[in-house]
Chain A
Amino acid sequence: MEEEEKIGCARPTGGPVGETATEKTEEKDNLITEVPKMIKVGQKAPDFTAPAYFKGKFVGKKLSEYLGKWVVLCFYPGDFTFV
Chain B
Amino acid sequence: MSIDSVFVHKMWNDHELSKMVSGGIPFPMLSDAGGKVGTVYGIYDDAAGVETRGRFIIDPDGVVQGFEVLTPPVGRNVSETLRQIQAFQLVRNSKGSEATPSGWKPGKMTLKPGPDLVGKVWEIWKTDQAFE
Q: Which residues of A contact B (CB under 8 A)?
A: 11-16, 20, 36, 38-48, 50-56, 58-59, 61, 63-64, 66-81, 83
Contact = CB atoms under 8 A, between A and B. Distances in A.
Contact of B31 (A52, A67, A71, A80): A52
B63 A42 contact: yes
A43 B96 CA distance: 16
A51 B76 CA distance: 24
Given A46-B41, A50-B31, A51-B6, A16 B67 contact: no
Contact of B28 (A11, A61, A77): A61
B54 A36 contact: no
Contacts of A77: 2, 48, 50-53, 72
Interface of B: 1-6, 8-13, 16, 24, 26-34, 36-43, 48, 50-67, 72-76, 81, 85, 88-89
Contacts, number: 162
Contact of A43 (B37, B63, B76): B63
A70 to B, nearest CB: 6
16 contacts: A13-B33, A14-B31, A15-B36, A38-B42, A42-B63, A45-B63, A47-B62, A69-B60, A70-B58, A72-B56, A74-B1, A74-B54, A74-B56, A76-B72, A78-B4, A79-B9
Given A11-B33, A46-B40, A50-B31, A76 B2 contact: yes
B55 A72 contact: yes
Contacts of A81: 72
B1 A50 contact: yes
Given A46-B40, A48-B37, A83-B75, A75 B52 contact: yes
B6, B24, B50, most chain A CB atoms within 10 A? B6
Contacts of A11: 5, 33
